[in-house]
Amino acid sequence: LYTAPDSCEGRCGEPFSEEDECHCHRECQAHRSCCEDHERHCGPDGFSSSQDSITDRELLELSEQLYGADHNKARPGDIALNPQHLAGPDETGDRQDRSPQPLYKSVNEELFSKPTYASFIKLLDNYQRATGREEEVTAEELREQDHFLQEVMRTELMKKLFVFLQGKNRYGSEQEFVQDLKEMWFGLYSRGDGERDSSGFEHVFSGEVKKGKVSGFHNWIRFYLLEKQGVVNYFSHSFDGPWDTYPDVLGLQFSWDGFYKEVGSAFIGCSPEFEFGLYSLCFLARPGRACHLSLGGHRLSVQTYPWTKSTYGSGRRFIATAYVMSA
């Protein structure tokens, strides 16, 4: 369903990129760089038609459309940030708190009463953050997952994303799309000790602790709520994006109950559906590779990785991680 980095499925005619581990463009045979299944998918009788591949230009155009459709994002006056210390490359790993004040001076919490925010926030306390401890999913938590998916699919942003993916023959119906989103984001797999202890949603949005370090945790709402409770301590930032409206991008260092995050990144001020939709797009279009996007005329990239040790459905992969790259 998504384009695996070592396969030509859905990638026939895709432009050459040095980042790809194998290639599916017309000249790859001459360069002996084709993926092993190139002939099967892209030959004269292949399974994948070139119009179903998602081009770099389409990603740039669609990401601008999704950026424009983020009607629930924070307005400039809704958030006041205090970024304080800009950390150099030699400072991010030394665990020094160089910012005495919190990152967030204020957030207009009326945002959190919007349906997608409210349903998103309800999901955040459903997880054991330590890897190796099995997640027990209650009937209520399953209802909360369904409710969140229902709310995001009501937005123009997610409807635009679905129409695009349907046009690329990735999904036949909105119901099929929603069911796959539920599996790829909320399906459980094991990061440690064989326990079903993790999911893409937990890792990316709620955060985990693995081997004494913060793992994942790329969401601004989660950060704000935990900082307000006093359990997250902001240390410094290593990147502040060029945007003068929201969403912005921040690279940051922080601790969570004493566990450290050396290289973190987050969209600031976006709606839950924006982040969820953009990461889903990049996972489906460029898993395991940099996904180059444009927001408000500024270029940026999102990196996703599939979980390779287990699958669902007919060999589909769960999301292992997704994050915005801060440069």
Query: Side by side, which strands form the sheet with 248-256?
Result: 208-210, 213-215, 259-268, 248-256, 232-240
State the Cα torsion 316-320-324-327 to the nearest 10°. -110
Known active-site residue 203: yes
Give, for 206, the enclosing helix (H) or strand (E).
none
Instruction: Compute the distance between CA of residue 187 and CA of residue 205 in angstroms, rounded to an integer.
Output: 14
Q: Active site includes 85? A: no
Q: Is 218 a catalytic residue?
A: yes
The residue from 25, 41, 73, 203 that is catalytic is 203
- Tell me the residue ranges of DSSP E strands in 29-146: 79-81, 104-107
Distance, in Å, from the CA atom of 282 to the CA atom of 304, rounded to the nearest integer, reads 7
Taking the CB of residue 100, how many other CB atoms lie within 10 A of it? 9
**Which listed residue (23, 38, 210, 261) is catalytic?**
261
Looking only at the bridges linking them, the beta strands covering 79-81 and 104-107 are antiparallel
Cα 317 to the chain's mean position, in Å? 15
* Among 25, 41, 73, 218, the one annotated catalytic: 218
Hey, which residues are catalytic here?
A: 203, 218, 261
